[in-house]
Chain A
Amino acid sequence: MKNNRTISSYLLISPYLLHVLVFVLFPVGFSLFLSFHEWNIIGPMKYVGTANYEKLFQDQYFIKSLRNTLVFLMIHIPLQIIIALGLAVILNEKLWFRAFFRGAFFMPVVVSGVVVTILWQQLYGFEMGSINTFLMWLGFEKVGWLIDPVWAMPSIAIMATWKNVGLYVILFLVGLQSVPKSLYEASELEGATRWQQFWHITLPVINPTVIMVMILSTIGGFSLFIEPYVMTGGGPLNSTLSSVLYIYKQGFFYYHMGYAATLGLVLALIILMVVFIQRLVIERKPT
């Protein structure tokens, strides 16, 4: 009886074992192997030792892509947290039409990123985009949202915030609603201001959510592809070149498979490091 059960156990997990072997373990190993070669898929593989790594450390475009990601994150993360938290706090109150507002905020989250990108590309249009038209109506100058090297990445960061905020509003709401009302009432009796309440009661409770938002947004920032691919092609002046877009270019435009694998490997390591450091620095135990 027990043996049958054990066989069943292994049967149950066998698809997973097979799948992970082929699509996770092998690729990780092959990635390493490939990073020491030069290959364009259609010809023979050529061993090049550490040449790809040497190239990578001198690669101004890879470094630029990391800097671009940093620009993106520095705008996207704070914006996201502030807006999502703010809206969640408001929605936490007793208001009418809460479901409607929640639904509205969440709409961009479910829609495909491609839709958002194509849509915002038009909104950001220099000559005829709605945003510039609105600015001019207010009496301001047009802004080269996607054609100015200074504004291009921030524009993408704003768009990404618009797309994702709804999700984090929901997550913050869940966190906020888990705070027992009694805590607030008790602190009010002791004369705490709304701000003190927020700082000492609310924040510690939602701290895990804040961390999660940061980590998810960071991983998202390092995974940007569709946005620059569709909106700017990586320009102007490579200001929107994301690391994944660069890997895509190296692998599927120039067919430097070995180098692309090397980039993927190093980028993965960087992401793991960044997330690890984030957890270390930001994690605060709730009091």
Chain B
Amino acid sequence: MLLLLSSCRDQAQDNNTLVFWSSSNPEEIKFTSQYIDQWNLANPSQPLMFQPVPEGQSSEEVILAAVVGKTTPDIYANMWQGDVEDFASSGVLVPLDTLDGFLAFLYERCDSLVIKEITSQDGHIYQIPWKVNPVMMMYNPLLFEQAGVDGIPKNYTSYLEAGRLLKLQQHWLGISEVNAIWWQRFFNFLPLYYAASGGAPLVENGKAVFDNEYGIAVFAFLQQIYTRGYFPREQMKGQSDPFLAGRVASSFTGPWTIEYNDRFKPEGMEFAFQEVLVPDGFTGPVYTYGDPKNIVIFNTCKDPEKAWQFLQTLLSPEADSDFLTLSGQFPRRKDIDTNPLFSEFLQAHPKILPFARQAKYVRGMDSAPYMKEVLDIISQEYEACVVYGLKTPEEAIRAAAKAVDLLYIHL
């Protein structure tokens, strides 16, 4: 009665082919298969096979199911940085820093801050940064102008003031996700927190460290927005996109919106991007959340060295340039804005330039376990404090920090 699934995996095991899973994004599929084909041509005795990650509720779930069912690929290219530590501490990933030439390659690709960010709690490195999609503030300059706002607001006070003016015109200042689901913080709390704190971590050494002035300031700011009625609580789904319909003047989003907007925007509409908002009197570079996706090698892989060799071709500057051109997503490189290889694409797509500059100042996710749950805990307090105004920012942040500490108490 056992229906054995004949997966490509079984075939692969028969003839030392390595299996590579990418996301199901069509451009990424195109990019990856191109490089896999190239590799297979050059290395016929060490073939690689490519599959987009199987469909499921979320790719994280699919990967976990694969680990549980012992059907993991050898290389996986779309792992959210926040998940890596959970897999690493369970012993299912290959420590990449033990592979030949890895560290040298890594230091060339990324700066020391990024490397510190991706180093695991046991000192090893289990992931290689692949791409980032920085979250920035998208705005409709015409709506702001019409409302009489002087320039585009950059800090909390001027943004709130703009909100007041826009409300008089019956427009929403912006819109953001309000549910208590962990990933929805990617587009409100997290980027603002990173901006205000200059990229400070959420947790460190098994304790919450976000209960500081920045966490509280961000909660307070966002709470004000909802209390004063500048952002709607309803998500306006099932109707046309509120930004494109000119009903909201701003939102926090990533570079993927550019293509979507260009395709669906009405005649004459403009949109542009700038860094997310910072507290008044802020100085220094504005950080944001980068939604980093990284590549890992599972320890079921029979030949990690070979896998790493392939990855070097996939992550070379030329490959990165191809990737950027094909998908509009940024490779996480320290020279993204200086390397001439990328400038051609950037010149040709001026709208994406702000993201390129921002890509140097992104924070990913702390290398600690349970990051999804940490974000969930923050989201619970976010819902109660920011969206429903039932708690003060101090109470909410304290409660979240306490819950996170409780979570880590058994580590």
| Residue A1 at the chain B interface, CB threshold 8 Å | no
Across the two chains, which residue of chain A brings its CB closest to B88?
A43
With contact pairs A42-B90, A43-B91, A254-B373 given, residues A237 and B388 touching in the complex (Cβ less than 8 Å): yes
Report the separation of the CA atoms of residues A237 and B385 in the bound assembly, to the nearest whole angstrom.
10
Contact B68 A42, beta carbon cutoff 8 Å:
yes
| Residue B147 at the chain A interface, CB threshold 8 Å | no
| Residue B383 at the chain A interface, CB threshold 8 Å | yes
Least Cβ–Cβ distance between B269 and chain A, in angstroms: 24
Chain A residues 71-86 with CB under 8 Å of chain B are: none
Please give, as numbers and ranges, the residues of chain B lying within 8 Å of A185 by CB-CB distance: none
With contact pairs A40-B90, A233-B179 given, residues A147 and B234 touching in the complex (Cβ less than 8 Å): yes
Q: Beta-carbon contacts of A39-55 to B below 8 Å, as 1s and 0s?
A: 01111101010010001
**B372 contacts which of A41, A48, A234, A254 (Cβ < 8 Å)?**
A254
| Residue B370 at the chain A interface, CB threshold 8 Å | yes
**A236 contacts which of B89, B383, B409 (Cβ < 8 Å)?**
B383
| Residue A128 at the chain B interface, CB threshold 8 Å | yes
Please give, as numbers and ranges, the residues of chain B lying within 8 Å of A151 by CB-CB distance: none
Contact B87 A42, beta carbon cutoff 8 Å:
yes
| Residue B49 at the chain A interface, CB threshold 8 Å | no
Least Cβ–Cβ distance between B288 and chain A, in angstroms: 26
| Residue A120 at the chain B interface, CB threshold 8 Å | no
Q: Beta-carbon contacts of B224-264 to A below 8 Å, as 1s and 0s?
A: 00000000011000100000000000000000000000000
Contact B410 A48, beta carbon cutoff 8 Å:
yes
| Residue B97 at the chain A interface, CB threshold 8 Å | no
The B interface is mostly helix, strand or loop, or mixed, namely: helix
Contact A42 B234, beta carbon cutoff 8 Å:
no
The number of residues on chain B lying at the interface, defined by a beta carbon within 8 Å of a beta carbon of chain A, is 27
| Residue B67 at the chain A interface, CB threshold 8 Å | yes
| Residue B142 at the chain A interface, CB threshold 8 Å | no
The number of residues on chain A lying at the interface, defined by a beta carbon within 8 Å of a beta carbon of chain B, is 25
Please give, as numbers and ranges, the residues of chain A lying within 8 Å of B410 by CB-CB distance: 38, 46, 48, 51
| Residue B149 at the chain A interface, CB threshold 8 Å | no
Please give, as numbers and ranges, the residues of chain B lying within 8 Å of A51 by CB-CB distance: 409-410
With contact pairs A48-B410, A51-B410, A237-B383 given, residues A40 and B234 touching in the complex (Cβ less than 8 Å): no
Please give, as numbers and ranges, the residues of chain A lying within 8 Å of B234 by CB-CB distance: 126-127, 147
Across the two chains, which residue of chain A brings its CB closest to B236?
A127
Please give, as numbers and ranges, the residues of chain A lying within 8 Å of B89 by CB-CB distance: 43
Report the separation of the CA atoms of residues A234 and B87 in the bound assembly, to the nearest whole angstrom.
27
Least Cβ–Cβ distance between A126 and chain B, in angstroms: 7
Report the separation of the CA atoms of residues A41 and B92 in the bound assembly, to the nearest whole angstrom.
12
With contact pairs A51-B410, A128-B238, A233-B179 given, residues A42 and B370 touching in the complex (Cβ less than 8 Å): no
Chain B residues 144-191 with CB under 8 Å of chain A are: 179-181
Q: Beta-carbon contacts of A6-44 to B below 8 Å, as 1s and 0s?
A: 000000000000000000000000000000001011111
| Residue A255 at the chain B interface, CB threshold 8 Å | yes
| Residue A238 at the chain B interface, CB threshold 8 Å | yes
| Residue B313 at the chain A interface, CB threshold 8 Å | no
| Residue A208 at the chain B interface, CB threshold 8 Å | no
Report the separation of the CA atoms of residues A251 and B124 in the bound assembly, to the nearest whole angstrom.
28
Least Cβ–Cβ distance between A15 and chain B, in angstroms: 14
* Chain A contacts to B: CB under 8 angstroms: 38, 40-44, 46, 48, 51, 55, 58, 126-128, 147, 149, 233-238, 253-255
Nearest 5 pairs of A and B residues by beta carbon: A43-B90, A42-B90, A42-B67, A254-B373, A48-B410
Known: A42-B90, A126-B234. 20 other contacts (CB 8 A): A40-B86, A42-B92, A43-B91, A43-B92, A44-B91, A48-B410, A51-B409, A55-B406, A127-B234, A147-B233, A147-B234, A233-B181, A235-B383, A236-B388, A237-B180, A237-B383, A238-B180, A254-B370, A254-B373, A255-B86
* Chain B contacts to A: CB under 8 angstroms: 64, 67-68, 86-87, 89-92, 179-181, 233-234, 238, 370, 372-373, 376, 380, 383-384, 388, 390, 406, 409-410
